[in-house]
Amino acid sequence: MNVQVSRRGLLKGIGVGLAGGSLGALGFGALEPAMAASVRPFKLAQMKETRNTCPYCSVACGIILYSLGDRSKNAKSSVMHVEGDPDHPVNRGTLCPKGSSLLDFIKSETRTKYPMHRTAGSSEFKRVSWDFALDRIATLLKEDRDKNFIAKNGDLTVNRWTTVGFLGASATSNETAWVTYKVIRSMGALTFDNQARV
């Protein structure tokens, strides 16, 4: 860590007032108030840059999300630009046309942001809680597995479950992918693919 101890900060700390640094020493001390006055009406604009991974395919390009607004205050922050991450070893700042259009993906009105549920016979989706969604998925999976699980093919033990499929997400980490594989395969599911191939 190499933060410089500002001489003025130090002097201020010990209660000594002095015209500032090089500016004052070279006889330009009077310019400082002019500089301060010229920027006084301006407001500091805050911007954030956040690293993320493109969700489209298995290449998993690094991206930088540029957002305006301060997350800690009441202001609502919004992503205003998406760009390739120049430090990412996979894409070195480049993006394909799909990746370049990620901003529209984020801003899309039809983007799914919450678990949604359409009951049988109904024509519209309703927002539900994660608890409801996960319970519902688990119940349906269990029902289907109890009904369709194939333990034996003749004398041979096969333990297969072919009536349910699973699609993994493409931007998962190695560890998430490992856990996903273990969970799905250990239930016997054979139909298993990844968004990365889509």
Least distance CB 101 / another protein (angstroms): 19
Q: Which residue, 130, 133, 197, 135, is CA-closest to 170?
A: 197
Cβ contact 192:185 at 8 Å: yes
Query: Among 180, 182, 163, which residue's Cα sits nearest to residue 172?
Result: 180
Tokens 């500016």 locate to 23
DSSP 14: T
State the nearest-atom distance from the C-beta of 106 to another protein, in Å. Answer: 19
Subset of residues 81 to 140 that bind another protein, contact rule: CB under 8 A: 83, 85-87, 89, 92-94
> What single DSSP character describes residue 71?
T
Residue number, 6 or 129, with CB nearest to another protein:
6
25 burial (CB, 10 Å; 0-12 / 13-18 / 19+) is exposed
Contact with another protein (CB under 8 A) among 49, 135, 143, 144 = 49
Binding flags for another protein, 52-81, as an x/- string (CB under 8 A): ------------x-----x-----------
Closest CB to another protein among residues 28, 192? 28
- Smallest distance, another protein to C-beta of residue 179, A: 25
According to CB under 8 A, which one of 14, 15, 17, 42 is a site residue for another protein? 42
4 near another protein, rule: CB under 8 A: yes
**What CA–CA distance (Å, rounded) separates 115 from 135?**
12
Q: Which region among 35-43, 110-118, 130-138, 186-194 touches another protein (by CB under 8 A)?
A: 35-43
> Which position has the token pair 């370049």?
100
Owner of token pair 């070893």: 89
| Sequence letter at residue 181 | Y
Q: Where on the chain is the footprint of another protein (CB under 8 A)?
A: 1-4, 6-9, 18, 20-28, 31, 34-39, 42-51, 64, 70, 83, 85-87, 89, 92-94
